[in-house]
A = this chain, B = another copy of it.
């Protein structure tokens, strides 16, 4: 009883969300632009990693890549600096209503975040359950704890509720993830 109701309610808010037509990447880019313009932090999305095979040099200034392939990323998509701290994270969306499939994150990326944390940086993932209109931050230590204690191929949403932090939509910035970094005392 409670569950279908919850879903229904979420679908209500999903509609208004859908109307905004923004995905997680756009929301994060918007937020990062806000942080940059207000001199709060310098955090950028990295370009998509590709291997370039053929380039057509039409002119001295205009080169067109005519063949390239996507590469498996060895790091995460976002990094930068906030209050002197190195920040590094990966962001993923899932349509699942119940869990986040781990196949969405490459092993190298988890290894990378672990290294970042070991070297004194702040590493985490941001997961959007798009059909629930909910975003969570999960710090790397909690992600690793899950992986060490579970053989599951996905992280149930209950784990995000328990160990992660809900990241509410806002206007400026759209996703104020640095606020959570501030509040949760990881800025030691």
Indicate if A47 sits at the interface (CB-CB under 8 A): yes
One complex includes copies of this chain to the number of 2
- A120 CA to B112 CA, complexed, in Å: 22
Task: Provide the residues of chain B in CB contact with A82, threshold 8 Å.
Answer: 119
Instruction: Give the number of residues in A that approach B within 8 Å (Cβ atoms).
Output: 38
- A83 CA to B84 CA, complexed, in Å: 12
Q: How far is the CB of A115 from chain B (nearest CB, A)?
A: 5
- A63 CA to B46 CA, complexed, in Å: 20
Stretch from A69-77, A93-101, A146-154 forming part of the interface with B: A69-77
- A93 CA to B33 CA, complexed, in Å: 31
Task: Provide the residues of chain B in CB contact with A115, threshold 8 Å.
Answer: 36, 39, 42
Check if B65 sits within 8 Å of A69, measured CB to CB.
yes
Check if B84 sits within 8 Å of A65, measured CB to CB.
no
- A50 CA to B121 CA, complexed, in Å: 28
Check if A47 sits within 8 Å of B49, measured CB to CB.
yes
A74 to B, closest residue via Cβ: B44
Indicate if A79 sits at the interface (CB-CB under 8 A): yes
Interface of A toward B, CB cutoff 8 Å: 36, 39, 41-42, 44, 46-50, 52, 63-71, 74-75, 79-86, 88, 112, 115-116, 118-121
Give me 11 other A-B pairs in contact (C-beta within 8 A), A39-B118, A65-B69, A65-B70 excluded: A36-B115, A42-B112, A42-B115, A42-B119, A44-B75, A46-B46, A47-B48, A64-B69, A65-B67, A68-B68, A83-B119
